[in-house]
Amino acid sequence: MKLYVIFPLSALITLTLQAPSGENCFCEFANSERAFPHDKLSTVEDNASRCNTNITPQKTLELESLLMGLERRLPRLEEDVSTLEREDDGELYGVISLQVVQNELTDIQELIARLNNTILENEHLTHVTNTKLTDLKAEMQELESYDTMQVVRGKLDNRRLRRDLDQCRNTVLPFTNTTEPPHGNCPHGQFRNISGPRVSTAGEYPGSYKYGAWGRDPKPEAGKESWHWLVLLTSGNKHSNYVRLYSSLSAFVGGVSTPGNVLIHSANPTTNTIQGPNVVMYRGALYYNCYNQDEVCRFNLTSKTVTNMKLPKGTRYNSKGNFCHLDECYPFTDLDLATDESGVWVIYTTNQDFGNLVLAKLEDDEQLRLNQTWRTSVYKQGITNTFMVCGVLYATRYVDKEAEEIFYSFDTTTGEERFNLGIFIKKMYPNILSLNYSPVDQMLHAYCDTYMVSYKVLFS
Ligand SMILES: *[C@@H]1O[C@H](CO)[C@@H](O)[C@H](O)[C@H]1NC(C)=O
Ligand SMILES: *[C@@H]1O[C@H](CO)[C@@H](O)[C@H](O)[C@H]1NC(C)=O
Ligand SMILES: *[C@@H]1O[C@H](CO)[C@@H](O)[C@H](O)[C@H]1NC(C)=O
Ligand SMILES: *[C@@H]1O[C@H](CO)[C@@H](O)[C@H](O)[C@H]1NC(C)=O
Ligand SMILES: *[C@@H]1O[C@H](CO)[C@@H](O)[C@H](O)[C@H]1NC(C)=O
Ligand SMILES: *[C@@H]1O[C@H](CO)[C@@H](O)[C@H](O)[C@H]1NC(C)=O
């Protein structure tokens, strides 16, 4: 047994057996190896992990979004240029089109400059990382020469085992705190999942209006608790000038409208009428993007008056900051209004935020005004819609015709952002053109290619 142990070590250790002198017998132990530099190994490991954290998915995402933006703008420019060519009769129309083209060009130049910056940044990062990796490799090779005791191999084995163990844990408990969505201060518990479609109806005008929104007032006047509202973009899929009311969900599904329409203005579109589908009703008033303005409008259905609020300078409007997926942008979705347990929110984007989502709470006293504003790092043209639940912003992206993914969240209480929620909405129709949460019954109301669909939000 002893012989078996000693033999493989004989290359490293010189054992000198001394002849017995008197009654004692002793061994002399001499290690012919250099001591293994554990310190060095641990620095190399630290450096390697620092290298890893420098390269984040965020960086690739940004590049992708910029390229996507550019891809979208170029065809539009081409279209505008050909309009200009058609109209270039030396008259006024030509001048206006030229201005549109110039604006378009300025935007595109800005995009290219940013793309250039991002690419340069990434190149620099790649270069730095490459150098570091080469250094690390050399360091590791040197360390390997020390490694007759197999320290490095042992460590690697340990790490592999630990990783396998972690993977194992994540598969067994898919909803541990690593993947758990944030919940803010939610009385219902934690946002977990979305049910299958609970209501799906073609409504009163089957197949007629591609864009619209519907829902339920979270803070209704007395006697109107079960009322539902509907806004259809009746003019060019862009504009509307009225809200239609139904006394119950069954009246809504059956297409029987009482008391009918409440008109904002007899013309459509005109000052202070509705632009874009992302509207909501709260406390007997409709909130929406005012026609042709970077403003939120509040239409009081009782007094029939409109209150306006201008958004900060640089806010994108008139279809300059839309929700998009790869095949399509949804026109005039610059401003998304949302309701949750705490009131009304506006979600938009600005030039100074480079097209990333900005979220603000609306203060709905007599004067309409913004309370607090939060900036996010999710690019608006990479998402298809947003909604709020319990002070947390959620964003969706298009997966395919059958599925939309709630992938992103921003918790206004903690400022925490997540990009990996992985909650899927089963769609009945390909495009969700507006999406809003009703805190009264925890339903998500979606308007999809002329159909109205709702889902139950599941909390734990
Ligand atoms: C680790 O990185 C530091 C700072 O970048 C550098 O000074 C050091 O030489 C590196 N160490 C090894 C072992 O690569
Ligand atoms: C990209 O950036 C570099 C360095 O700032 C500059 O020299 C170059 O002209 C830029 N290219 C374009 C197309 O903007
Ligand atoms: C994850 O949850 C476990 C148990 O629920 C808790 O002990 C741990 O601190 C949590 N980790 C983080 C990072 O929140
Ligand atoms: C979420 O809900 C969908 C539809 O009801 C279901 O198919 C899916 O398994 C659920 N996911 C989880 C993680 O519970
Ligand atoms: C709407 O107008 C009515 C009547 O003027 C008023 O009592 C009510 O407070 C207004 N609602 C909102 C949300 O401003
Ligand atoms: C902002 O909202 C908070 C919470 O609702 C409120 O306490 C505060 O008074 C509001 N601030 C302004 C300026 O309206």
In a domain, 280, yes or no: yes
Regarding whether 238 and 118 lie in a shared domain, the answer is no
Regarding whether 20 and 93 lie in a shared domain, the answer is no
Q: In terms of residue numbers, what domain contains 139?
A: 55-146
Residue among 453, 388, 343, 10 at smallest CA distance from 183: 388
- 393-419: per-residue pLDDT in tens? 999 999 999 999 999 999 999 999 999
| Domain's final residue, options 113, 146, 179 | 146
* Mean per-residue pLDDT of the chain: 81
| Mutational test site, ligand 1, from 38, 42, 43, 52, max ligand atoms within 8 Å of CB | 43
Regarding whether 256 and 113 lie in a shared domain, the answer is no
Nearest-CA residue for ligand 5 atom 2 is 303
Residue among 222, 214, 223 at smallest CA distance from 252: 214
Q: How many whole angstroms separate alpha carbon 268 and alpha carbon 273?
A: 7
Q: Quote the number of domains for the chain.
A: 3
Nearest-CA residue for ligand 5 atom 1 is 300
pTM: 0.61
Tell whether the model's pLDDT for residue 196 goes beyond 90.
no
Q: How many whole angstroms separate alpha carbon 198 and alpha carbon 420?
A: 25
In a domain, 411, yes or no: yes
| Domain's final residue, options 117, 146, 175 | 146
pLDDT band at 16 (very low <50, low <70, confident <90, very high): very low
In a domain, 166, yes or no: no
Regarding whether 141 and 214 lie in a shared domain, the answer is no
**Taking residues 429-452, what's their average pLDDT?**
94
CA distances to 17, 80, 94, 424 from 403, in Å: 77, 34, 44, 6
Query: Of 41-55, 113-127, 191-205, which one has max mean pLDDT?
Result: 191-205
The DSSP code for 189 is -
In a domain, 196, yes or no: yes
Nearest ligand 6 atom to the CA of 342 is 5
Looking at per-residue pLDDT, the higher value among 156 and 217 belongs to 217
Nearest-CA residue for ligand 6 atom 10 is 371
Regarding whether 404 and 259 lie in a shared domain, the answer is yes
Res 4: pLDDT: 37
In a domain, 113, yes or no: yes
Regarding whether 334 and 211 lie in a shared domain, the answer is yes
Res 413: pLDDT: 92
Question: Which conformational region is residue 258 in: left (phi greater than 0), alpha (psi within -120 to 50 degrees), or beta?
Answer: beta
- 255 CA from centroid of ligand 4 (Å): 31
Name residue 375's amino acid. R
Token pair of 7, please? Answer: 């033999």
In a domain, 36, yes or no: no
In DSSP terms, 239 is beta-bridged to 235, 275
In a domain, 288, yes or no: yes
Res 168: pLDDT: 46
